[in-house]
């Protein structure tokens, strides 16, 4: 399983763009990168998934460089409701995958 490293916490003001970087130096060829968001006392929620280059959906963008040893989750113009813990996971997406949720990055959005 690829080990991931991400900052423990980040603060941002409302309206700013937030970038959370995840390092995964031993990512395997078949591994995908997936990000989840978790609010207090709720289950994690899928945000975005990618394999290479850039992926964008209505919530976020995911940037993955050519060597795939890191990835950056970008949240445009955050609001107070984006205050949550964000988890970066790396694993094979074909069939069952045992993934490891680390401690994630706690994002605090400040008014």
Partner 1 sequence: DGGITQSPKYLFRKEGQNVTLSCEQNLNHDAMYWYRQDPGQGLRLIYYSQIVNDFQKGDIAEGYSVSREKKESFPLTVTSAQKNPTAFYLCASSSFLGPQNIQYFGAGTRLSVL
Residues that bind partner 1 (CB under 8 A): 32, 34, 36, 41-46, 49, 87, 91-104
CB of 104 to partner 1, least distance (A): 6
Closer to partner 1 at the Cβ: 16 or 103? 103
SS3 45: strand
Cα–Cα dist 99/53, whole Å:
22
CB of 14 to partner 1, least distance (A): 24
Cα–Cα dist 74/16, whole Å:
11
The answer to whether 64 and 74 have CB atoms below 8 angstroms apart is: no
CB of 21 to partner 1, least distance (A): 18
């Amino acid at each position: 399983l690829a080990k991931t490293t991400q900052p423990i916490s980040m603060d941002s003001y409302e309206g700013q763009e937030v970038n959370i970087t995840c390092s995964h130096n031993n990512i395997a060829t078949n591994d995908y990168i997936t990000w989840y968001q978790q609010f207090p006392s709720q289950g994690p929620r899928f945000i975005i998934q990618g394999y290479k280059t850039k992926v964008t959906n209505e919530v976020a963008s995911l940037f993955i460089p050519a060597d795939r040893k890191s990835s950056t989750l970008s949240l445009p113009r955050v609001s107070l409701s984006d205050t949550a813990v964000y988890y970066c996971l790396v694993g094979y997406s074909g069939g069952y995958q045992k993934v490891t949720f680390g401690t994630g990055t706690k994002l605090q959005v400040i008014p």
